[in-house]
Structure 1
């Protein structure tokens, strides 16, 4: 049979209201011995509080949702960890969902998480759900956007200065004497903002430095086709002598291409990536990267969302908050 709060109260020899106070962390006037009795009774009986009923009564659930665009990225995992760390300190639980850059999937997760009475959401927004965001904003539902901005200014947004990241990457290649620089990205078909901005930054910096590049040197395709496109590029008369991979998945495919063609880094080609990963430091040679302050970004997003939830209001006047990337110099360029 289901264990109730009354069962816990009876076993501990206290009232139901005292057990309720314990469950809701209200210990101001509770003796230590009473706390121990209730805790032991809950453990012995296997009592599980009815969080849904509590959230309906309090009109808050102490839960938030995170909808990431692609959970395969190291960036996403580090952001999630930072958010969870902040929420754990505040006694807030977290649901994590992976949208796979699919607006339909994201829309479904938003509905599901709202049905679960989450207090707010942190979303890596996809392209195609502007109507959903507008509706949520109109209802004053707490949300913080991460990594990507939307067409409309619906919610506070935290992301990287992607143009600056590409500028740093190109500058480092030029400093190493590598002037023929290609860029490698996963697909921009779904108009993923960071990827588009990083390619824009690449083009801009190459133009500013009067560096020529072939259109074929801009490889932006599905992950499974990157090596194929790089093979075609390598057959051309004019080859690059440096590659800039704008995320960790693109970098992995680039490294497959380099291994396949027995190229030496940095003698044959220099390599620079965006986003660090543990294996890059132990690679031979260690790979130079542009890093994002992922833990800081995740922490800020969580703190901001919890602040909005507590205030029960979203300010209309805010800007997109851009974080500055930094170079982590190793031996590949």
Structure 2
């Protein structure tokens, strides 16, 4: 079956190939309405599909960016992806989304795959363990941005939350409510930036309030072990009175344990989570949350990447773009 070309569309619509090209590229501000209509009808009647590969070779751009997310199950990750997609859509860029599962080898394969597909740039929630590969990308001047995490050895800009402040807001709220035995649970995979920074923020505010740091109240583990960790913290001679969940998946495990063991919130255990969850305001009791502006973070990452791709003259690039967290107080604390 013969492939329909732009020349066929032009002949069918009785216009030049350049006029069809202008229509396809949405450059038809000064094009007569009947001309636009004839081209549109020709495209439909012939079932014409633009050759994206040929166009990308001609324009030296695939109008596509890749996003490699560390764990797509996090609500924060999906919100950031949505914001990136929204911004890119307005610029006529498409997205390829990959889930690395916090696996450095999987992340490496996705980076190589996306570059082989000649995407114009990549946004990565980095595992941090592919330093040599990141450095190669930087040296080749390939457009790349990090989100949510830092890799200190590599000069790639990152867009992320002020994680120390996020944890600090939660701990300060606990202290002001009269709690002294405050715990934190977070799932740490290697030394991922947000988790370590949140623990640092937790410790910092405890010290500022004259409270001692009890290592038994600090737990870092896989999500599957969160309920066991909470059980241990509540079984201590001096059990925790309040707990900060380091992210949304940790919070959900804490809530499962609370429900299973009929623990009263906040009477028996006060709870605050970092990362907003969709059910926070109608859970019973409603959950106090430290919210990070995921959509603003995603939009900024997309904007910075497209500026790199399009080589726009912009203000001096920062190493890290930090966004402010917001404490939303409800009944769980």
Specify the TM-score bucket, using the shorter chain as the normaliser.
over 0.9
Residue 56 of structure 2 corresponds to: 55
What is the CA–CA distance in structure 1 between the aligned matches of 2:251 and 2:326, rounded to whole Å?
18
Please give the TM-score of this superposition, normalised by the length of structure 1.
0.94
Please list the CA deviations of residues 5-39 of structure 1 after superposition, one character each: whole Å capped at 9, or x if unmatched.
23322322223232222222222543221112112
- Check if 1:171 corresponds to 2:172: yes
The farther-off stretch of 208-217 and 83-92 is 208-217
| Whole-angstrom CA distance in 2 between matches of 1:206 and 1:307 | 41
C-alpha separation in 1, matches of 2:147 and 2:65: 14
Q: Which shows bigger deviation, 253-262 or 309-318?
A: 309-318
* Residue in structure 1 matched with residue 132 of structure 2 by the alignment: 131
SS of equivalent residue, structure 2 residue 279 = helix
Q: Any idea what SS the aligned residue of 2:4 has?
A: coil
CA–CA distance in structure 1, aligned partners of residues 323 and 30 of structure 2: 45
Residue in 1 that maps onto 2:323: 323
Alignment of 1:181-330 (within 5 A): 181-186=182-187, 188-311=188-311, 318-330=318-330
Distance in 2, Cα, partners of 1:313 & 1:122: 20
- Matched residue of 1:95: which SS? strand
Distance 1:154 1:33 in 2: 53
Q: Whole-Å Cα distance in 2 between the matches of residues 317 and 328 of structure 1?
A: 32
**TM-score normalised to structure 2 length:** 0.94
1:30-74 superposed Cα distances (whole Å, 9 cap, x missing partner): 322111211222223222211111111111111111111111111
8 Å Cα contact 1:181-1:213 kept in structure 2:
no
Structure 2: distance between partners of 1:113 and 1:37: 38
User: Residue deviations 1:58-99, cap 9 Å, x none?
Assistant: 111111111111111111111111111111111111111111
Alignment of 1:99-118 (within 5 A): 99-118=100-119
Q: How does 1:10-29 map to 2 (within 5 A)?
A: 10-29=11-30
Any conservation in 2 of the 1:180–1:213 contact (CA below 8 Å)?
no
Distance in structure 1 (CA, Å) of the matches to 2:141 and 2:258: 50
Q: Secondary structure at the match of 1:243?
A: strand
Residue 41 of structure 1 corresponds to 42
Indicate conservation of the 8 Å contact 2:155/2:319, yes or no: no
In the alignment, structure 1 segments of 5+ residues that lack a partner are none
| Moved segments of 4+, more than 6 Å | 312-316
Q: Is the 8 A contact 1:142 1:314 kept in 2?
A: no
Match of 1:282, SS state, is coil
Give the Å deviation of 1:315: 9.1
Q: 1:128 to 1:314 in 2, by over 3 A?
A: farther
Conservation of the 8 A alpha-carbon contact between 1:180 and 1:212: no
C-alpha contact (below 8 Å) 1:170/1:202 kept by paired residues: yes
Q: 2:145 matched to which residue of 1?
A: 144
